[in-house]
Amino acid sequence: MDANPILAEAVRGNWVENRHRGAFIIVDADGGVIASGGDVARPIFPRSAIKSMQALAIFDRHAVDRFHHSAEELALACASHHGEDEHVGSVAHFLERMGLSVADLECGAHMPTNGKARAALRAAGTAPSALHNNCSGKHSGMLSVALAMGVPTQGYVEREHDVQKAVRAAVEYVIGEDLTEDRCGTDGCSIPTWAAPLRAWALGFARMATGKGLDAGHAAGAQKLFDAATSHPHLVAGTGHLDTLVMQAFKGRLMQKGGAEGVQCGAIRDKGWGYALKCDDGNMAASHAMVAGLLLKYAEPDAAQQEVLEQFAHQPTRNVRGAIVGEMRAVAF
Amino acid sequence: MDANPILAEAVRGNWVENRHRGAFIIVDADGGVIASGGDVARPIFPRSAIKSMQALAIFDRHAVDRFHHSAEELALACASHHGEDEHVGSVAHFLERMGLSVADLECGAHMPTNGKARAALRAAGTAPSALHNNCSGKHSGMLSVALAMGVPTQGYVEREHDVQKAVRAAVEYVIGEDLTEDRCGTDGCSIPTWAAPLRAWALGFARMATGKGLDAGHAAGAQKLFDAATSHPHLVAGTGHLDTLVMQAFKGRLMQKGGAEGVQCGAIRDKGWGYALKCDDGNMAASHAMVAGLLLKYAEPDAAQQEVLEQFAHQPTRNVRGAIVGEMRAVAF
């Protein structure tokens, strides 16, 4: 099998220091390929990039009829949030509204992604809780599914729990592929992650963006989730993050979500296209350069949107004293 | 140009999540190739992996005759230390002995690499100083060169300063190649870094290990530096780091040093071989797996040495709750 193409590179001074290979694909909801590069048939773990797809279980299992999730709660269900006050407070409220608390979360605790939030916790001498975990909104959404299904919440992260079966079924339905035990792992937040071909993830996003190929319930749920995420981009990630800045700039035209280990997925909603991208080596900054390159070329950005994307297509790198000594940049788009 | 081979991969569950390509070469002091893979003619930035080579300027410019550097000071000149108490105290003493202080260091300040040292600084509410910079030992060595040469120490990090000219000349002499302005960048600690073919770095290490191809002064200096580093491995890196653990285990048989962005260089001293390795994408953990794979195959490790190398050839990865969910592993060695 040929190597995937180089899609980003890191330059130091006047010389290329690192090369980042990857594959990408943009498709319409019928699976028609708009653009692609590299091996798009290779199954990849989508990680957090498909939280919006996993959140379809909220609609599938009628949790939404019981809890009437707000747009903010749906955005948090799609989020890898940065543990800023707004995120932590909103997730705590979401849980409280369901009669649950932080003790019901099984994602584990980690320090907030946001630097100021980390410093504030340290200054207060407080350990992070599961609320600070970037996945706590997704887990709250999953807990709402457990309650709506009338099953015990305990163990909801396990592969054989009814909640994860519901999530798996929703994802399989949208991408039109089986998720199989021979290509499965455990995500950072302890739920299963399933590998599927890159082109299947892109197709799923195109279907969610258009409703094509989906029944009315899934189509409506997908639209509500994308509307929620794109109208509350700060809840989906956090201050200064690509997902937040790009969705703010595109004002609803674009659903964009990163996942660990260099995954980027989303939909150019007004075109009805889904896209998926994976950096072979898992480097996040490189995957940011790649998706910025992709969106600059294919998302028809206006001047303000271009400016935001250029920050990620050409990321300056600095040395210890703060001098710019190179850049991470998109190539081949 | 063909892609370099995959030399490490990250597995999650039962599926490969990330692939890391790279090139490596092992040579003897005459340039005879023991083993190689990938494009070893491509110039790469060696970064901190060649601090021992840069430290030859201490001998070249007779700084050693004036300051009679201790083995500990020579080890620190070769080091990317972790900012533990022993490192910071030893560098402060080294500077004081020359009538200098932290104010003369131009490397900039960063938090210690060592987690406990970081926590201690935070608990004390103290900002890190340039002494904590992993390169402060190398910079102290460079300051000794400036004093011995009778030139101003100020600006010693600049490309046109006599100290950097001396460092460049020492490195060019040992690798037998010109370092040229068309492939130069600035390192994290503000000194120049020069790209040269991977095979040239390996040859330089083989020459330093054997003295072959070097005049008597350089050969003696190289031996002193390798002896210093291999008998004080904790000073060269720090608690738990590959360089420290591997050099401790090999008890003088092996000089090993990593550099930023996935570079690993060293010498299997008793065989007279030098080696150099670069992970294309700059991932450090992957480069650790790669060099461990290389040394397992070619350095004839005993059982204890194998055990240390296996920790890096197969590195478990954990999720937020601490469960092992995969591994980074060496392949193709």
* Cα B310 from Cα A130, distance rounded (Å): 33
Whether B119 is covered by a domain: the verdict is yes
Over chain A, what is the mean pLDDT?
Answer: 97
CB contact under 8 A, A186 and B321: no
Chain A residue whose CA is closest to B328: A281
Chain A residue whose CA is closest to B135: A320
Strand, coil or helix: what is A153?
Answer: coil
Chain B residue whose CA is closest to A321: B108
Residue A51's nearest CA partner among A213, A154, A167 is: A167
Contact residues, chain B, for A23 at CB < 8 Å: none
Residue from B47, B181, B189, B281 whose CB has the most chain A CBs within 10 Å, to mutate: B281
DSSP state string for B103-163: GG--S-----SSHHHHHHHHHHTPPP-GGGSTTHHHHHHHHHHHHHHT---TTTTSTTSHH
Three-class SS of B234-248: HHHCCCCCHHHHHHH
Contacts of A68 (CB under 8 A, 6+ apart): none
Whether A1 is covered by a domain: the verdict is no
CATH of the domain at B304: 3.40.710
What pLDDT score was predicted for residue A81? 98
Q: Which residues pair with A264 in a beta bridge?
A: A258, A277
* Cα A64 from Cα B1, distance rounded (Å): 54
**Residue A137 in contact with residue A79, Cβ under 8 Å?**
yes
Q: Number of A to B CB contacts under 8 A, please give it.
A: 137
Contact residues, chain B, for A107 at CB < 8 Å: 320-321
The distance of B251 to chain A (nearest Cα, Å) reads 33
Whether A313 is covered by a domain: the verdict is yes
- When CB atoms are compared, the residue of A183, A188, A319 closest to B14 is A183
Over residues B64-76, the mean pLDDT reads: 98
Whether A285 is covered by a domain: the verdict is yes
Which helix (H) or strand (E) covers residue B257, if one does?
Answer: strand B254-259
What is the distance of C-alpha B237 from the center of its chain? Answer: 9
Strand, coil or helix: what is A51?
Answer: helix
Tokens of A168: 């798996």
Whether B222 is covered by a domain: the verdict is yes
Residue B74's nearest CA partner among B220, B235, B207, B211 is: B235
What pLDDT score was predicted for residue A332? 81
What pLDDT score was predicted for residue B1? 59
Q: What is the pLDDT of residues B23-55, one digit of tens each?
A: 999 999 999 999 999 999 999 999 999 999 999
CB atoms within 10 A of CB A205: 32
Q: What is the pLDDT of residues B316-325, one digit of tens each?
A: 999 999 999 9
CB contact under 8 A, A185 and B13: yes
Number of H helices, E strands in chain B: 14, 12
The dihedral of CA B151, B155, B161, B164: what is its sign? positive
User: Among the residues of B12-114, which ranges form H helices?
Assistant: 51-54, 57-60, 63-67, 71-77, 85-97
CB contact under 8 A, A190 and B323: yes
Chain B residue whose CA is closest to A262: B18
Residue from A1, A2, A12 whose CB has the most chain B CBs within 10 Å, to mutate: A12
Tokens of B193: 């870094």
Tokens of B224: 């002193």
What pLDDT score was predicted for residue A147? 98
CB contact under 8 A, A325 and B186: yes
Residue B137's nearest CA partner among B237, B2, B260, B284 is: B237
What pLDDT score was predicted for residue B287? 98
Whether B1 is covered by a domain: the verdict is no
The distance of B68 to chain A (nearest Cα, Å) reads 30
Q: What is the pLDDT of residues A219-265, one digit of tens each?
A: 999 999 999 999 999 999 999 999 999 999 999 999 999 999 999 99
Over residues B234-261, the mean pLDDT reads: 98
* Cα distances (Å, whole numbers) of residue A32 to A27, A199, A272, A275, A293: 5, 10, 11, 12, 21
Contact residues, chain A, for B321 at CB < 8 Å: 107-108, 190
Segments forming the whole domain that contains residue B103: 6-330
Confidence of residue A2 (pLDDT cuts 50, 70, 90): confident
**Residue A150 in contact with residue A144, Cβ under 8 Å?**
no
CB contact under 8 A, B18 and A325: no
Please give the DSSP secondary-structure letter assigned to residue A2: P
The distance of B92 to chain A (nearest Cα, Å) reads 20
The distance of A236 to chain B (nearest Cα, Å) reads 20
CB contact under 8 A, B319 and A12: no
Whether B82 is covered by a domain: the verdict is yes
- When CB atoms are compared, the residue of A188, A286, A320 closest to B189 is A320
| For residue B67, pLDDT beyond 80 | yes
CB contact under 8 A, A190 and B20: no
Q: What is the pLDDT of residues A107-150, one digit of tens each?
A: 999 999 999 999 999 989 999 999 999 999 999 999 999 999 99
Does ipTM surpass 0.85 in this model?
yes
What pLDDT score was predicted for residue B247? 98
Confidence of residue B332 (pLDDT cuts 50, 70, 90): confident
CB contact under 8 A, A45 and B17: yes
Chain A residue whose CA is closest to B2: A3
| For residue A7, pLDDT beyond 90 | yes
Residue B333's nearest CA partner among B284, B299, B283 is: B299
Whether A279 is covered by a domain: the verdict is yes
B17-28 in b/e burial notation, b at 16+ Cβ within 10 A? Answer: bbbbbbbbbbbb
Contact residues, chain B, for A111 at CB < 8 Å: none
Which helix (H) or strand (E) covers residue B286, if one does?
Answer: helix B284-298
Q: What is the pLDDT of residues A45-94, one digit of tens each?
A: 999 999 999 999 999 999 999 999 999 999 999 999 999 999 999 999 99
CB contact under 8 A, B326 and A185: yes
Give me the number of domains chain B comprises: 1
What is the distance of C-alpha B13 from the center of its chain? Answer: 33
- When CB atoms are compared, the residue of A2, A18, A185 closest to B12 is A185
* Cα B161 from Cα B104, distance rounded (Å): 15
Q: What is the pLDDT of residues A267-324, one digit of tens each?
A: 999 999 999 999 999 999 999 999 999 999 999 999 999 999 999 999 999 999 999 9
Contacts of B330 (CB under 8 A, 6+ apart): B7, B8, B289, B290, B292, B293, B294, B296, B313, B314
What pLDDT score was predicted for residue A1? 59
